[in-house]
Amino acid sequence: MEYKLHPEYKEKTVAIIGGGNVAMDCARTIKRLGAKEVKVIYRRAREQMPAEDKEVEEAIEEGIEFLFQNNIVKILGKNKVEKVELIKTQLVQKENDTRLVPVNIEKSNYILEMDYVIMALGSKVEPYVKELELETNQWGNIEVNEKYQTSNPKIYAGGDLAGVKSTVAWASYSGREAARSIVENLKL
């Protein structure tokens, strides 16, 4: 049985929602797989993008379009993606925030034709994780030791959840290492 990892992107228009290195990886890969257009949609300005400058520059060189200060509102279509509704944002300084916050600009909505939408967004620790009563750091990531064990020795964590560098490669590495530690522990 053959598994297809990606749909057919040739001559398709693809939206990538996000502004980190994972979004850049997705955009560049999909462009190389033959997409006609790839648009990275990010709600903040380029200066606030968490992606490395080198990654953004290479994406631009490969023909990827960036729509800064835009936020996705809806994905439209019947049984498949046909369009996306976006809204423009402005960056404002809110009290007690060190980072400029994107705020939707009323009545600035517009529609783009689209074939696929890829969500490449960061995430926070899910609320149910708090119920496990695991130790977390100041950013809300689960504390782990060198073997990826949490404060409960029966629970292991890796990737973004444990505050490991936010790339797919590092998340995969930490997942693999956590699995090795679990296997080691089971052998005892």
DSSP state of 11: T
**Average pLDDT score over residue span 126-142:** 77
How many CA atoms lie within 13 Å of 37's alpha carbon, on the beta-carbon side?
13
3 pLDDT above the threshold of 80: no
Stronger pLDDT, 55 or 172, i.e. the higher one: 55
Stronger pLDDT, 7 or 37, i.e. the higher one:
37
For the CA atoms of 111, 116, 118, 119, the dihedral, rounded to the nearest 10 degrees, stands at: 40
How confident is the model over 150-162, as a mean pLDDT?
85
| The predicted structure's pLDDT at residue 4 | 65
At 75 the pLDDT is: 94
CB 171 within 8 A of CB 164: yes
User: Which stretch of DSSP H or E encloses residue 31?
Assistant: helix 21-32
Distances (CA, A) of 72 to 69, 109, 119: 10, 9, 10
Residues 6 or more apart whose Cβ sits within 8 Å of residue 91:
44, 45, 48, 69, 100, 101, 102, 103
Q: pTM of the prediction? A: 0.70
User: Do residues 48 and 99 touch, judged by C-beta distance below 8 A?
Assistant: yes
Q: State residue 173's pLDDT score.
A: 85
The answer to whether 10 touches 47, Cβ cutoff 8 Å, is no
Tens of pLDDT, residues 48-62: 998 899 999 999 999
**Mean pLDDT (the chain, rounded):** 88
In this predicted structure, what is the pLDDT of residue 33?
Answer: 93
Question: What is the rounded average pLDDT of the residues 122-140?
Answer: 74
Amino acid of residue 43: R
Q: Inform me whether the pLDDT recorded for 92 exceeds 90.
A: yes
List, in order of start, the domains of the chain with CATH numbers. Answer: 13-119 (3.50.50.60), 127-187 (3.50.50.60)
Does the pLDDT at position 177 exceed 80?
yes
Q: Which of 107-116, 138-147, 161-170, 172-181 has the highest mean pLDDT?
A: 107-116
- Above 70 in pLDDT, residue 67? yes
Instruction: With cut-offs at 50, 70 and 90, classify the pLDDT of residue 128.
Output: low
Mapped to the 3 state alphabet, what secondary structure does 103-170 carry? Answer: EECCCCCEEEECCEEEECCCCCCCHHHHHCCCCECCCCCECCCCCCECCCCCCECCHHHHCCCCCHHH
